[in-house]
Amino acid sequence: MLSITDIYVCHHHTLLLQGLLGALLKTGKYTPSDLAYIKPATQCEAIQLVEEFCKHKGITSCVPIGPIVYYKGFTRSFLKGETGETSEDLLQKASEAVDTLAMGKKVVIIDGVGYPAVGSITGTDNASVARACGRLFSVPGSTAATPERVPVPVLLIGKSGVGDAIDSFNINATYFSHRNVPVLGAIFNKMNLEGFYSLENCKEAIDMYFDKFQPDKRAFGYIPQIPALTNARENVASISQEDQLKEAVKSADLFVEKFAEHVSVDAIVDAARKATLRYIQSTTSTQNGETVSGTKRPAEEIGVTTLANNNDQSKHPRIALKSATPGFALSREQIEAMASASGAAGG
């Protein structure tokens, strides 16, 4: 069986990541050293609140700024070939960063960037990163030179309400499903406390939708609006950055309590493990054409490379993504300077 659970979280507010990490700790099943967090691709290099939260909780395996950075001018320079890197090069860096971080961990939270297609212009959208950063597995009897990778299952963060919440979930989930990346379901955030669109009313309707139309996915929880956190960022705008970080950690602790109360983190972890095993079963059955009485072979019979339990990479070689030989490349400083001179505001 697998001892790592990878979960790719996409389209969220930073507090949601802190809530998930904090709620995992609150189950009592994980210590800080069992957990890891990484954001392989990012548009922001400022101090990340999730990093401060991890420090606060003793989660030392935290990489808030990964190897793919959409810095000012990056996109256009990438398209011109001026960065000296291919899409495969960037995905390889993300893959290696996750592999290194995952050693010895039980749960690895991989943080997405923006909506699902962010980064698609450079071939490093969320679906591509999820596929590149999954664990290795080998198919018995396969002639492949290297093991394959299981895409990291995706957990989406949804809106409040019903119609817009489900419609938005479906358009985001479809992007991943089209790339054969498993989608577990969603957590729905900032639900109203009362009225026609109250949490309870919306929960009833959304649960009904998943049961009827998407039984392979589910809503793992509904987080209510938290009055104490309303305008929290604006309320601390006038104090020092150090004090802002302290207040942010206090807010995160409050959010963790609500998150743990309203979200089933055990169900998320279990669903991620099962989705990974199903993907391996499906791939193995397809490649080998092997079934037992018309059913797929049990997951326990499949050769799975668990990186957390094996530090000998020579036994389980990484997939060598092919890259073109880099030609002339500009430095990041040169690219940013030229972009700024031309009036660029971002990547």
Residue owning tokens 């959010």: 255
Local structure of 262: helix, strand or coil: helix
Mean pLDDT on 277-293: 69
Q: Residue 244 — very low, low, confident or very high, per pLDDT cuts 50/70/90? A: confident
Q: Residue 316 — very low, low, confident or very high, per pLDDT cuts 50/70/90? A: very low
Mean pLDDT on 310-318: 35
173 vs 155: CA distance, rounded Å: 9
DSSP letter string, 297-340: PPGGGSEE--GGG---TTTSPPP----PPP-S---HHHHHHHHH
183-191 vs 154-158, strand pairing mode: parallel
Average pLDDT over the chain reads: 85
pLDDT at 194: 93
- Percent of residues, the chain, with pLDDT higher than 90: 66
Considering only 144-148, 157-161, 220-224, 277-281, which range has the smallest mean pLDDT? 144-148
pLDDT at 113: 93
Both structure tokens of 20: 């998930």
| Residue 247 CB partners (closer than 8 Å, separation 6+) | 232, 236, 239
| Residue 31 CB partners (closer than 8 Å, separation 6+) | 25
54 vs 57: CA distance, rounded Å: 5
321 or 139, greater pLDDT: 139
Mean pLDDT on 145-150: 80
DSSP letter string, 139-179: -TT---SS-EEPPPPEEEEE-SSSHHHHHHHHHHHHHHHHT
Local structure of 32: helix, strand or coil: helix
297 vs 301: CA distance, rounded Å: 7
Mean pLDDT on 92-112: 95
Q: What is the pTM of this model?
A: 0.85
pLDDT at 296: 34
pLDDT at 148: 86
169 vs 157: CA distance, rounded Å: 8
303-304 vs 136-138, strand pairing mode: antiparallel
318 or 345, greater pLDDT: 345
Q: Residue 322 — very low, low, confident or very high, per pLDDT cuts 50/70/90? A: very low
Nearest Cα to 330, choosing from 41, 83, 21, 158? 83
Q: Residue 240 — very low, low, confident or very high, per pLDDT cuts 50/70/90? A: confident
89 or 283, greater pLDDT: 89
Q: What is the pLDDT of residues 113-145, one digit of tens each?
A: 999 999 999 999 999 999 999 988 876 666 666
Mean pLDDT on 73-77: 95
Give the domains, in start order, of the chain with CATH numbers. 5-336 (3.40.50.300)
Q: Residue 311 — very low, low, confident or very high, per pLDDT cuts 50/70/90? A: very low
Q: What is the pLDDT of residues 245-258, one digit of tens each?
A: 788 888 999 999 99
Rounded to 5 degrees, φ, ψ at 280 are -65, -45
